[in-house]
Every structure is written in structure tokens, then in C-alpha cells.
Amino acid sequence: MTDHTRFAGHGVLVTGAARGIGAAVARRLAEEGGQVLVTDRDLPEAERTAAALRDEGLAAEAAACDVADRASVEAAVERAVAAFGSLDVLVNCAAHCTPDTPRFEDGTDEAWALDLDITLTGVHRCCRAALPHLAACGRGAIVSIGSVNGLQDFGNHAYSAAKAGLGSLSRTLAGHAAARGVRVNLVAPGTVRTSAWQGRDDDLDALRPLYPLGRVGEPEDIAAAVAFLASRDAAWITGTTLVVDGGLTAVNTGFHTAVHHP
């Protein structure tokens, strides 16, 4: 059951929140009482997401934020503080994934740099801008969206390296920020049904048997994990990676299938 007061009075900024996991996170935290700034490079879509929340009586505003641009990030953080009076929660959802070339050596510097700049360095920019405000509020929390790609091989070299880097950044920043009263954690999702999979229902169905819990994830599954880590229910948790993957990385389903059905 959703706690409609868990984030009462909290100012929240979510990046990459126009759609998918980011939009689900924005909705969940708003439903639990948060005042949410929905940010995205796609401002019209961010505005539509925020408007839909307001139509339900929830507190949400929208702002443009390109995590690849320091000035854009700093402006979004200042907008959240000005609108809500404080910034208590930062959720980093923005990411970029360039499809791998068939041969590793044919990948370009530009594609590699783009994935790392948005997926990893973008989180660094957001945390750097937000941290003083999160520390000032006395209950600050940062939750970033990683991936099982950062834990095991699921392809996408640059994206996976960036997501693995987020795990390290979350741990080192947690160590630094703890003395300032800010917790820092990571959620690592498995396959989640978002617009990235639009028109690929057959592929999602093919993946389903690999998941011990029998399905791929939904954005709401990840939003629930984010809400927990951002809340005071996780007051003694920092520097951790919460894997939310239906058992994918814990159970070698392919091995079990091969053994029992040779």
C-alpha cells in the first residue's frame, strides 16, 4: 500500500523523467507526498508528464535539464529549490545507450564518449550541483538508476561500463556524503518494459523465461525500490546497490534448463 505521507514536504528532482522509469519514479514520489520537479531534455514531454500528475492533484512541475550540460543541471537544481523551498531527494534516471557495432574495434570514440557523458558523468554533474542543498535539508538522499549491465555481461560496452561506474561513484560519494547527512544508493534493474522496447513484444516474451519470477520488470517495480531507498525507511542504508531484476543475476536459469532438459 502506498504511503501518501512518506515524502510530505520533500522537494524532489528526477532526471530523465519524461517517460519510462523516470516518469514512474516521479509519479510514485508524488503519490507519497513529494513535490516533484520532472526534468528531461524533452521539455514538452516532461511538461505533459507533470501536467498529468497535477491533474490527479499531485504536486509536480517540469523543467528542461540536459545532464550533459553543467549550466542546465545547475539551473534545474536551483529551480527545484526555488519552487519547493528545499531539495531533499535527487533521483538520477537519465541515460544513453548506443547499440554495439558487430565488431568491437569498429566502435567510435564519439559513441563511447556519448554514453559515458550522459549515463555516468551526467550523474556526477547532478550530484555535484545538488549535494549542498541535500546536505542543508538534513535528510538528503540520492538514488541513481544503474543496471544489471554493470554487474554482468549483457552487451552494450559503453553503456555497461558507465553503469558499472555508477556503482563505484555511489559507493565513494556515499562515503563522502555520510558525514553531511546525505545517503547515496543505486538501483540496478533488469529488463524493464519501457518505450525502448516499443514494438518488440516478441523479444520481451523471449526474455521472460530467463527471469525466475516469470516476467520482465515494469517501471513501477523500479519506482517502488527507489521510493524505499529515498525514504527514511532506509535511514541506515547507504552506499549499496539494490538489484531489482526478478532473480536474473541470482539464478542461472540457462544452466538449470540445460541440466533438467538436456
**Which residue numbers are catalytic?**
159
Q: Roughly how many angstroms between the first and final C-alpha of the chain, as a whole number? A: 43
Read off φ and ψ for residue 221, nearest 5 degrees. -60, -40
If phi > 0 it is left, if psi is from -120 to 50 it is alpha, else beta; for residue 224 that is alpha
In 3D space, the residue among 5, 1, 50 whose CA is nearest the CA of residue 27 turns out to be 50
Distance, CA of 258 to CA of 22 (rounded, Å):
37
Burial of 209 (0-12, 13-18, 19+ CB in 10 A): exposed
What single-letter amino acid sits at 257?
Answer: T
CB 186 within 8 A of CB 250: no
